[in-house]
Structure 1
């Protein structure tokens, strides 16, 4: 039995993962800003589920969540940074306060969670950290520059941590899901108040009032949850994990296009050294 601490369990992938972890017999600290949304989980698994109110941007609440996990279950074996939300705006349209709030939740919140659980994991020389990113970090769709940047930042942190923590017996996995049928494109998606007409055919097409994706995404959160569990429990936990056939397709397309660009400019790129 291991103890998982999962952020953002009120809906979507976080809820599906919490339920799957509990059904496998593990302990789970399930978190949300409103713990009333977690009542069914604690009712169904009264001895192994612990609901904790958590806003990942609040340092006091972060520390409290980890302490409660330690007091109840002895420590956190697996941290899943799932809490986050989307923000749609052309870069020029983005509001500074909105963008800072986005990064507080999508980047600095996960970092606070990681720092809170690492002392215990280092002491035990074991543990797993799973950071939920997005294929958006790779494909950078119009209108999602700030969101893509927040997830790319989380992936950069994940990559360095993986090298820092592997010698200590702690794995780090960055997960890039494609489109899954969650509330991400609905309740969990915000956008700029301002819309500039010149972006109507690019970022404008992806504003909430013009986006018809919500409720039609191809991915099943329950199946994604099982793959995440399998990855954490694998003999060699992957440092990078794609979820969804659409994510695989997008990854391959971006890699192919990037390689073609590199090859077109290879000679010039390599010509920048000092000559003797």
Structure 2
């Protein structure tokens, strides 16, 4: 790794609030260095002089390459990339407009891909590095009323799992973080975007809207403790591929996987579609 004086260099997207800011603070508290990025660099001033800050639009691949190149030059080499930038959008599939769908995927999925691709040449050359890909409980368990958000996180899971298999022999690690509800501003009206409700979906999406509104500010997860675990795991020699965070994430993911296994066994008699003798 490109550690200097025993410290690591971290590159964090979406660092202005929520998990991004908590992770940056934890990095600095440990004495490591961080390149904190956001679409609004002024929002990063509160991190203090210990952080290098930069404007970054993760949806622009040229911008991602340029900012990563500058981070490499200014720090001597990035050790860990935290792909955290993202947001939620609540609405039935039929309710969301085309531009809302594209924006959701541009930020949550293509943003991760753009920054990952920008960092890979440097990691590959050094044969070291870590990617921390912020997914969600909803990267495993679908959220009715959040189909496009769910789609983006399912895609991040698949992309990152394939990435891990591609780069393991190069000494590069990948960890997919799957948080349940944590007490950030993610579910607030200022952060979570919402489409205009249609009455036909009041019994499904409407209930999810109410649940998220009740959950805002009452989430069981502590983002500070989550940031401590994320930073600790990313700094280990053998980071886990997946890292669910929070009791709800562990419980729901365990139940989902059990249900999938049961469903798989139930349809096993219909799975014999190979050519005879194969």
Fold shared per TM-score above 0.5: yes
Contact 1:191 1:208 in 2 (8 A): no
- Report what 1:7 is aligned to: 13
Contact 1:135 1:177 in 2 (8 A): yes
Q: How many residues align?
A: 270
Contact 2:187 2:212 in 1 (8 A): no
Once superposed, what is the RMSD of the aligned Cα atoms?
1.5
Structure 2 residue matching 1:149: 3-state secondary structure: helix
1:63 equivalenced with 2:58 (yes/no) = no
Structure 1 residue matching 2:82: 3-state secondary structure: strand
Deviation at 1:72, TM superposition (A): 1.4
- Report what 1:225 is aligned to: 227
Query: What are the ranges of 5 or more consecutive residues in structure 1 without an aligned counterpart?
Result: none
Q: Residues 174-200 of structure 1, C-alpha deviation per residue, up to 9 Å, x if partnerless?
A: 11100000111012211223x222210
The normalised TM-score by structure 2 is 0.93
Cα distance in 1 for partners of 2:14, 2:210 equals 22
Q: Residues 49-95 of structure 1, C-alpha deviation per residue, up to 9 Å, x if partnerless?
A: 10111121123432232122112101211000000000111112221
Structure 2 residue matching 1:242: 3-state secondary structure: strand
Moved over 4 A (4+): none
1:200 equivalenced with 2:202 (yes/no) = yes
- Report what 1:38 is aligned to: 44
- Report what 2:275 is aligned to: 274
Cα distance in 2 for partners of 1:88, 1:26 equals 36
Cα distance in 2 for partners of 1:111, 1:128 equals 15
Contact 1:205 1:211 in 2 (8 A): no
Q: Residues 1-31 of structure 1, C-alpha deviation per residue, up to 9 Å, x if partnerless?
A: 1110000111111000000001111110011
- Report what 2:4 is aligned to: none
Deviation at 1:258, TM superposition (A): 1.3
Cα distance in 2 for partners of 1:151, 1:209 equals 20
| 1:93 aligns with one of 92, 95, 108 | 95
Contact 1:42 1:51 in 2 (8 A): no
Cα distance in 2 for partners of 1:275, 1:63 equals 51
Query: What are the ranges of 5 or more consecutive residues in structure 2 without an aligned counterpart?
Result: 1-6
Contact 1:102 1:147 in 2 (8 A): yes
Structure 1 residue matching 2:10: 3-state secondary structure: strand
